[in-house]
């Protein structure tokens, strides 16, 4: 666990007219009066963990609130998020959710211990990353059009860091949109997938930017496209798949803060405001852009609508791929 130690937020006046509202505001005006536990459902030093710590360190600096980062990995993030779903909804337990947890896993697993659309209160969308379509540096494939043309003539092997991962399902989304077939070759993580791609055992790979940026810059891999709506600063010369002939194609790995369902809206809005302020800090934006990450933010209502849309879109892609985790 990691604790960000700073003094507790001072009480604030909320000035409401109705007696009941005044009593509620009085009870919540000292929030948070104790450290807030933030469950990260993945191991320390992973992408979700690093991003969570970066953002919450900025929130702590700006607000003097205390957060305890509690890593609870396992079952594709399901174990940690289940703890959040079943925690007391008093604002003192939060969780970092992402595309896999809330949009892919509901269709990948036959049964989850929680309902992704009912058991969480959306707080704020933190950030998103596209998936980068890469091939080895000496590959004859130089564009997305090359890839489609080659796939029409011969079978191509698509590596992924595991069945049901964002990279896997994004690749399936693209194949379906392009009208081609790609043979999925799952690996246990990005490392071995990239090794075999460079070695010629596979033909292409849909990767998260941090795992391949240095190899692209070092000339070991070639990036054909990114799956974001717009190009990213870290790969400014690489077109989007939408620019490559597939208008509207977007597939991003996003991270968001959620709380147990029923958490008081006043608390949700305090957390949302503080996090949005932190996300606007130039230093944080710059650091994220270096890793191919886009800072997001927005209202809790916007996140709720976004999760529903992503749940449907990724769920349809999982079902079309036939992928299962159990």
231 within a domain of the structure (yes/no): yes
Rounded Cα gap, residues 100 and 129, in angstroms: 13
Across 205-223, average pLDDT: 95
Rounded Cα gap, residues 294 and 211, in angstroms: 16
Residue 86 has pLDDT above 50, yes or no: yes
Q: What is the dihedral of CA 206, 210, 215, 217, to 10 degrees?
A: 110
**Do 225 and 267 lie in a common domain?**
no
**Do 120 and 263 lie in a common domain?**
yes
**Do 219 and 146 lie in a common domain?**
yes
Q: Total structural domains in the chain?
A: 2
Residue where a domain stops, chosen among 206, 235, 264? 235
**Do 42 and 174 lie in a common domain?**
no
Residue 302 has pLDDT above 50, yes or no: yes
Q: Domain with 219 in it: what CATH number?
A: 3.40.190.10
Mean model confidence pLDDT for the chain: 90
pLDDT, residue 252, reads 96
Closest CA to 85 of 52, 34, 124, 39: 39
- In the chain, the percentage of residues whose pLDDT exceeds 70 is 91
42 within a domain of the structure (yes/no): yes
Rounded Cα gap, residues 75 and 35, in angstroms: 27
Per-residue pLDDT of 104-162, as tens digits, reads: 999 999 899 999 999 999 999 999 999 999 999 999 999 999 999 999 999 999 999 98
pLDDT, residue 22, reads 34
**Do 120 and 192 lie in a common domain?**
no
**Do 136 and 189 lie in a common domain?**
yes
Closest CA to 170 of 250, 254, 75: 250
Residue 225 has pLDDT above 50, yes or no: yes
326 within a domain of the structure (yes/no): no
Q: Write out the H or E segment, with its range, that includes residue 312.
A: helix 300-321
216 within a domain of the structure (yes/no): yes
Q: How confident is the model at residue 17 (pLDDT cuts 50, 70, 90)?
A: very low
Range of the domain at 84: 2-129+253-321
Q: How confident is the model at residue 286 (pLDDT cuts 50, 70, 90)?
A: very high
Residue where a domain stops, chosen among 180, 201, 235? 235
Q: Give the distance, in angstroms, between the CA of residue 120 and the centroid of all CA atoms in the same chain.
A: 16
Q: Which residue has the higher pLDDT, 187 or 12?
A: 187
**Do 302 and 228 lie in a common domain?**
no
pLDDT, residue 75, reads 85
Residue 23 has pLDDT above 50, yes or no: no
**Do 72 and 184 lie in a common domain?**
no
242 within a domain of the structure (yes/no): no
The DSSP secondary structure of 125-192, one letter per residue, reads EEEEEE-EEEEETT-S--SHHHHHHHHHHS-EEEEESSTTSHHHHHHHHHHHHHT--EEEEE-SSHHH
24 within a domain of the structure (yes/no): yes
Closest CA to 2 of 46, 67, 60: 67
**Do 12 and 124 lie in a common domain?**
yes
pLDDT, residue 324, reads 86
The DSSP secondary structure of 270-288, one letter per residue, reads HHHHHHHHHHT-HHHHHHH
The DSSP secondary structure of 52-67, one letter per residue, reads HHHHHHHHHHHH---E
**Token pair of 41 as six digits:** 């459902």
**Do 305 and 156 lie in a common domain?**
no
Across 230-251, average pLDDT: 96
Exposure string over 24-34, b if 16+ CB within 10 A, otherwise e: ebeebbebbee
**Do 204 and 147 lie in a common domain?**
yes
**Do 113 and 71 lie in a common domain?**
yes
Across 226-247, average pLDDT: 96
274 within a domain of the structure (yes/no): yes
247 within a domain of the structure (yes/no): no
């Amino acid at each position: 666990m990691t604790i960000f130690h700073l003094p507790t937020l001072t009480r604030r006046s909320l000035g409401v007219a109705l007696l009941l509202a005044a009593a509620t505001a009085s009870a919540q005006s000292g929030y948070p009066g104790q450290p807030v536990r933030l469950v990260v459902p993945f191991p320390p030093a992973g992408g979700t963990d690093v991003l969570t710590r970066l953002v919450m360190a900025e929130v702590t600096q700006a607000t003097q609130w205390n957060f305890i980062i509690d890593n609870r990995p396992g079952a594709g993030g399901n174990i940690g998020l289940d703890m959040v779903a079943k925690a007391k909804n008093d604002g003192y337990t939060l969780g970092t959710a992402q595309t896999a947890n809330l949009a892919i896993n509901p269709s990948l697993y036959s049964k989850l211990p929680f309902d992704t659309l009912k058991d969480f209160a959306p707080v704020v969308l933190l950030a998103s990353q596209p998936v980068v379509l890469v091939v080895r540096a000496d590959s004859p494939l130089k564009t997305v059009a090359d890839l489609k043309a080659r796939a029409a003539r011969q079978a191509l092997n698509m590596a992924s860091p595991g069945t049901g991962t964002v990279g896997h399902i994004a690749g399936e989304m693209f194949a379906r949109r392009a009208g081609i077939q790609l043979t999925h070759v799952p690996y246990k993580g990005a490392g071995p997938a990239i090794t075999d791609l460079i070695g010629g055992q596979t033909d292409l790979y849909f990767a998260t930017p941090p795992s391949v940026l240095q190899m692209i810059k070092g000339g070991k891999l070639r990036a054909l496209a990114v799956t974001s709506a717009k190009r990213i600063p870290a790969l400014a010369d690489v077109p989007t798949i939408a620019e490559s002939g597939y208008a509207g194609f977007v597939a991003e790995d996003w991270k968001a803060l959620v709380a147990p369902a029923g958490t008081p809206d006043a608390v949700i809005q305090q957390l949302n405001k503080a996090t949005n302020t932190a996300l606007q800090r130039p230093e944080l934006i710059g650091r994220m852009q270096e890793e191919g990450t886009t800072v997001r933010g927005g209202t809790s209502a916007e996140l709720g609508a976004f999760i529903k849309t992503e749940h449907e879109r990724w769920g349809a892609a999982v079902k079309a791929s036939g992928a299962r985790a159990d």
